[in-house]
């Protein structure tokens, strides 16, 4: 069996399930988060995706979507509450 390859880890990537542990809990959590993400209203899904995937700041997201900054922030909070509830259910 080949030795486990060491993966350079830095910053945000350090905690990525894809680079770190791929244990059962992480995979289950990943699926659960995926399900929650899919169930989010489109407006919350959009801000989360733009923040996490495109790396846009809240102001950049506000500019892109033509929304007030406060609306972007409240959509992020609402989305996170749902995701957090789902993740805590696993504990």
User: Does the protein bind other proteins through residue 37 (CB under 8 A)?
Assistant: yes
- How many CA atoms are closer than 13 Å to the CA of 50, on its beta-carbon side? 20
Does residue 41 bind other proteins (CB under 8 A)? no
Instruction: Tell me how crowded residue 62 is: count the other CB atoms within 10 A of its CB.
Output: 18
Task: Give yes or no for a contact between 36 and 83, defined as CB atoms under 8 angstroms apart.
Answer: yes
Under the binding rule (CB under 8 A), the answer on residue 44 touching other proteins is no
Q: Which residues bind other proteins (CB under 8 A)?
A: 10-18, 20, 26, 29-34, 37, 48-49, 51-59, 68-70, 72-74, 76-77, 80, 83-84, 87
């Amino acid at each position: 069996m080949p030795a486990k390859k060491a993966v350079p880890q830095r910053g945000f990537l350090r905690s990525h399930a894809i680079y770190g542990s791929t244990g059962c809990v992480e995979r289950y959590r990943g699926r659960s988060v995926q399900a929650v993400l899919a169930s989010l209203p489109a407006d919350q899904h959009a801000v989360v995706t733009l923040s996490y995937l495109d790396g846009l700041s809240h102001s950049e997201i506000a500019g892109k979507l033509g929304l007030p900054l406060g609306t972007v922030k409240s959509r992020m909070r609402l989305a996170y509450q749902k995701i957090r509830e789902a993740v805590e259910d696993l504990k």
